[in-house]
Each structure stands twice: as C-alpha cells, then as structure tokens.
Homo-oligomer: A and B are copies of this chain.
Amino acid sequence: MQNYQIDNLDRSILHALMDNARIPYAELAKNLAVSAGTIHVRVEKMKQAGIIKGTKVAISAKKLGYDVCCFIGINLKNAKDYPDTITKLDALEEVVEAYYTTGNYSIFIKVMTRSIDHLQTVLISKIQAIDAIQSTETLISLQNPISRDVIP
C-alpha cells in the first residue's frame, strides 16, 4: 500500500476534499458522475495508503488577531545544538513551522504574531534569548499570493 498509484478519479476526489473535506459523498459522486459507494471505496483506499492523513479545519489566523507572518533564518553556534534549539522553539506558540535546512541557515522557521511589536518581543526576548543561536535574519511577509497543496 506504500506506493499506491492514484488515478484521475482519485485526483478529482482529492481536489474536491482539499476544498471542502465535509462535502457529502453523494454530492461528490454526482459531480464526478460515479456512485457514492465508489467515492467511499476510493477514500478508504487513500486513507489506508496514508495519502489522506486526516481532516483539518482551516483557521483564519488573521481573524484571531495574528496579522504578522514572517520567516526567520537562524544560524547556530554549533550544529550539535540543533535538537535542543528545536525543543526550545517548539515551546514558543508563535513558532508555527520549523525546518532543518541546507544553505544559508541552519534552521528556518515561520512565525505568526499579533503585530510588529509582538514580533519584536518574540524575536528579542524569546528567540534571540536562546543561547545556542548565533544570529537571525528576518523576512517579513507582506503578502501571500500563492498557498495550496501539491496534488499531481
């Protein structure tokens, strides 16, 4: 089940579910001109294969007051401090994503904050306060024109 090859129907189902995970199977079936049972079988198959990991609600961070999105490239003093630093970053609720990367930075994180002031506080008092961090570089996101998932 590891490398289950999806076909066009699976692809269409994925696209529809990406848009709305709670769409009734019957409606989906009607749109795709197949029966509801078929939809069910395909979805089950993709769940079994691990392609569909689960369902999530899409939250508007903005409506919750989190207006500022930015990326921070982090350089560590020693590469061996990586696991420790991740643990510390994980404890910060403002850090929503972290990546261990090759290239200019050791760690690359995405941070959501309520305001520029809030960002400054997080950056100075929380992130740069971590001993193992040598330097940081901040990229503030002004717009997010593309945001989607990859479905071949």
Write the residues of chain A forming the contact surface with B, with a CB cutoff of 8 angstroms: 2-4, 6, 14, 17-22, 49-61, 63-66, 69-71, 86, 89-90, 93-105, 108-109, 112, 137-152
Contacts and interface: CB of A to CB of B under 8 A. Distances in A.
A105 B18 CA distance: 30
A90 B145 contact: yes
Contacts of A14: 57, 59
Number of this chain's copies in the complex: 2
Given A6-B64, A56-B18, A57-B55, A96 B149 contact: yes
A96 B144 CA distance: 11
| Of A61, A90, A95, A109, most B-chain CB atoms within 10 Å | A61
Contacts of A97: 144, 146-148
